[in-house]
Amino acid sequence: MLSVEELTSRTFEERMDDVMRELPLRSSEWTNYNPSDPGITILENLTAFSALQGAEITTLSYRARMALLKMAGFVPARGKCSRVLLSADELDSPHVFPSGQRFHLGNICFETNRETLAGACRLTGVYAYENEEFRDISFVLDKELSVPARIFGEEPKPGNAVYFVFDGDVTDLKEIIMYVRMYANAKRNETVDRTEHIFADTKWEVFTEAGFEEVSVRDYTGSFVSSGEIRLSLADCGTAVYTDTPEFGYCIRCTLLRADYDIVPRMTNLCGFLFEVWQKDTLVHSVSYNRADKINVRSPIGEDVYYLVFGKEQKGSSYRKYEMVMSDDLTGRFCKYSEKRGSIDIRFNETAYGYAPYKCKECVRVLIYNEQMMRSYAVGRVIGFDDQELNLPVSNVVHESFFLIARRKDEEGYLYDFVRPERKIEGGLYYHLLEKEGRIIIEDPGDFIDAELFMGGVAVTNGDYGNITSGNHILIDDEDIDATFMNPGDGTGGCYRETLEQVRARFLRDMKTPFTAVCASDYESLVRTTPGLCIRKTKAVTDEHENMVRVVVMPDTGDNQPKLNDIYIDKITQRLEERRLITTGFQIKQPAYVAVGVKCTVYVKKHFTDCRRMIEDRIKACVDYIHSDRNFGDRLMFEDVFHAIEDLPCVEYVYELSLHSENNKLAQVKENDIIPRYDCICYPGTIQLNIVTSEK
């Protein structure tokens, strides 16, 4: 068996020393050991080859490590641009932003991905409807306030509704985006499906000439359970003014169909109508056309740019490069252009020049480079050996917009192909893009050996740094628009591509994360992380005689002594049923609560005021397991309560202290301590406090 240490730890000099010591033993006739001797040169080459071969044997390539992790079900997560929703309330009139419109927050750049209409209308009023009456909660539209409003009342029930009134016709809008911020006094586990509705169902409608008509919706708040966005698709329905609300206007209505909330929903802020931008900075913009005569190209990355024009001369063929000229008296692959402010017109004329693109899908492609990328857009040449690596002139690249231009030579000149990463086609160039590091690894050169590679579409991102917090004022890169834009919610989704080291670390974490419930701690971990629920405390106890695990759970619903409702029990049961051992049963237990009474006589120091309140608060804090880190069945120690009172600055000494359970079935007194049942938790009961002022 090969020794790994032998292959990697010994240097070339150490290996040559071994060779020179052994050489006299191998041949007594070899007497010239000088470097000039051809035999020594041969030995040096062989030794160097042996050292390199040893290092190669013990080195796993990127492809090999990727394959090993993929066998275990783990592949690197791609980098993503952060997505941010912006409010256009400061726009004086509706405005259409083109694809690639740029916005800035400091040195962070944001762009639109498609043509976007903003500022068409604004929310002017919000009204809660219950018991056939409207209640004005329009204060949630104030960005400076965060006053909670119970949008479906104190006791939500089917039929309760909320009306959103706005001032403009939304017929031209394909989609309405609103952002809702909900008051949260408990931590809720994230759901796997962001559109899953666990506790309530709603119906969304828009008012038209024919009355309210239902519209499709993607609600990422879980029917106002948590903060998030709501996206309404208006399928060409004409809107009309609604006059039954206290304020007249165009109207959208949300009606409760089912209401089983664990926590009554309270809204603090509402923003609409919003549009999307993505955190990225395009350095090379690519645009394609399906026509081959006159095209207009607008530069979204500024005016000091460079254009490259490519055209297909046959359907399904590679591209040819066309030079941009201003004259007609030339022959060859040329196109005539004329400049305008921020854009150029390009014309192809086969009659004049002898060449023109063939009219087909994406027959013309124009690349727009900024000066930085134009100076450094050459990447290198495809050599053809395994896992060839090439460095890019930029790092933190956006995967979705990136591609390379591969240039090959034929009898008519050069062929150009646009090659995206990790696209496997017969004879194609297959390569991996390591976005964060800014390099590519060519796994299969295909038919592109000896091809020259150049940068194609390129955009860079700030990764998770682009997940900006809410409430920023973002500027637009357009001198003609005098407005700022605010993001009501945090940026989401921004991240860099995982390195193989990070994938390996994730694999190791996953190995340690329980999926199948075996021991009691596994049950506790699975219950605590049940998607969509608010879990404050849980404890699992095994019963070996019945081969049963009993799990007691306290939800975090804000009640004084919360109990599990049917939804919680069903969700937890479903999660544990999928993961329990076949031979092991389980039982979900409701939490039990026991009041602990305290009788205490305390001598306090002179000149202290409000001593009774301070001592009672300290006792309650010690006994209250509901709002502390103490768990079910934890022993309440007499000495802990004693020392907690004694440590108060106003206390001289504790003269008398006793603890007792107000329900002996749930908790027993043993050696002055309170020992609750395994499914029971303590809370403060009757406190009899006698205060005596010390003479000292």
Coil/strand/helix, residue 573 = helix
Whole-number pLDDT of residue 41: 86
Helix (H) or strand (E) segment spanning residue 97? strand 95-97
- Which residues touch 572 (CB under 8 Å, ≥6 apart)? 527, 530, 533, 551, 553, 564, 588
Whole-number pLDDT of residue 635: 93
Q: For residue 274, give the nearest of 147, 150, 402, 118 by alpha carbon.
A: 118
- Measured between alpha carbons, how far is residue 505 from residues 80, 161, 500, 502, 529 in Å? 20, 48, 9, 5, 21
Rounded (5°) CA angle 663-666-672: 75
Contact (CB, 8 A) for 477 and 540: no
Query: At CB < 8 A and 24+ separation, what contacts does 405-413 make?
Result: 405/367, 405/453, 405/454, 405/455, 405/456, 406/382, 406/448, 406/451, 406/452, 406/453, 407/451, 407/452, 407/453, 407/454, 408/318, 408/448, 408/450, 408/451, 413/320, 413/333
Q: How far apart are CA 440 and CA 391, in angstroms?
A: 7
For the chain, domains (ranges, CATH) are 4-59 (no CATH), 120-272 (2.60.120), 283-368 (2.60.40), 376-460 (no CATH), 514-589 (3.30.300), 593-693 (no CATH)
- Measured between alpha carbons, how far is residue 494 from residues 75, 268, 274, 280, 426 in Å? 18, 26, 19, 10, 33
Question: How would you classify the pairing of strands 161-166 and 175-182?
Answer: unpaired
- Which residues touch 170 (CB under 8 Å, ≥6 apart)? 120, 121, 176, 206, 234, 239, 250, 273
Q: For residue 217, give the nearest of 199, 205, 200 by alpha carbon.
A: 205
Contact (CB, 8 A) for 163 and 241: no
First-to-last alpha carbon distance for the chain, in angstroms, is: 84
Q: How far apart are CA 144 and CA 488, in angstroms?
A: 11
How many other C-beta atoms lie within 10 A of the C-beta of residue 578? 11
β-partners of residue 466 are none
Whole-number pLDDT of residue 2: 44
Contact (CB, 8 A) for 255 and 203: yes
Helices 38-57/12-26 angle, 10° precision? 130
Coil/strand/helix, residue 526 = helix
pTM for this entry = 0.80
Whole-number pLDDT of residue 640: 92
Locate 322 and state its tokens.
């066309």
DSSP class of 650: T
Give how far the C-alpha of residue 537 lies from the chain's centroid of Cα atoms, to the nearest Å: 27
- Measured between alpha carbons, how far is residue 662 from residues 29, 159, 189, 543, 559 in Å? 103, 43, 35, 28, 21
Whole-number pLDDT of residue 9: 63
Coil/strand/helix, residue 138 = helix
Q: How far apart are CA 371 and CA 284, in angstroms?
A: 10
Q: For residue 471, give the nearest of 500, 452, 491 by alpha carbon.
A: 491
DSSP result, 359-404: SSTT-EEEEEEEHHHHHS-EEEE---STTEEEE-S--SB-TTT--E
Q: How far apart are CA 139 and CA 141, in angstroms?
A: 5
DSSP class of 140: G
DSSP result, 8-75: HS--HHHHHHHHHHHHHHH-SS----STTSHHHHHHHHHHHHHHHHHHHHT---HHHHHHHHHHTT--
Q: For residue 614, give the nearest of 651, 640, 658, 643 by alpha carbon.
A: 651
Coil/strand/helix, residue 555 = strand
Whole-number pLDDT of residue 226: 92
* 273: preceding bond cis by omega (within 30 degrees): yes
pLDDT digits (tens, 9 = 90+) for 270-312: 998 899 999 999 999 999 998 877 888 988 888 888 999 999 9
How many other C-beta atoms lie within 10 A of the C-beta of residue 381? 15
CA dihedral 243, 246, 248, 249 (to 10 degrees): -110
Contact (CB, 8 A) for 424 and 350: no
Whole-number pLDDT of residue 270: 93
pLDDT digits (tens, 9 = 90+) for 120-155: 888 999 999 998 899 999 999 988 888 999 999 999
Question: How would you classify the pairing of strands 680-693 and 592-604?
Answer: parallel
Whole-number pLDDT of residue 582: 87
Locate 535 and state its tokens.
């879990």
Q: For residue 308, give the nearest of 229, 261, 378 by alpha carbon.
A: 378
Locate 471 and state its tokens.
């409430």
Q: How far apart are CA 107 and CA 676, in angstroms?
A: 58
DSSP class of 238: P
Q: What b/e readout covers 499-514, taking b as 16+ CB neighbours within 10 angstroms?
A: ebeebbeeeeeeeeee
Given a cut of 70, the residues of the chain with pLDDT beneath it are 1-9, 54-63, 236, 695-696
- Which residues touch 78 (CB under 8 Å, ≥6 apart)? 399, 435, 497
Q: For residue 471, give the nearest of 487, 448, 494, 454 by alpha carbon.
A: 487
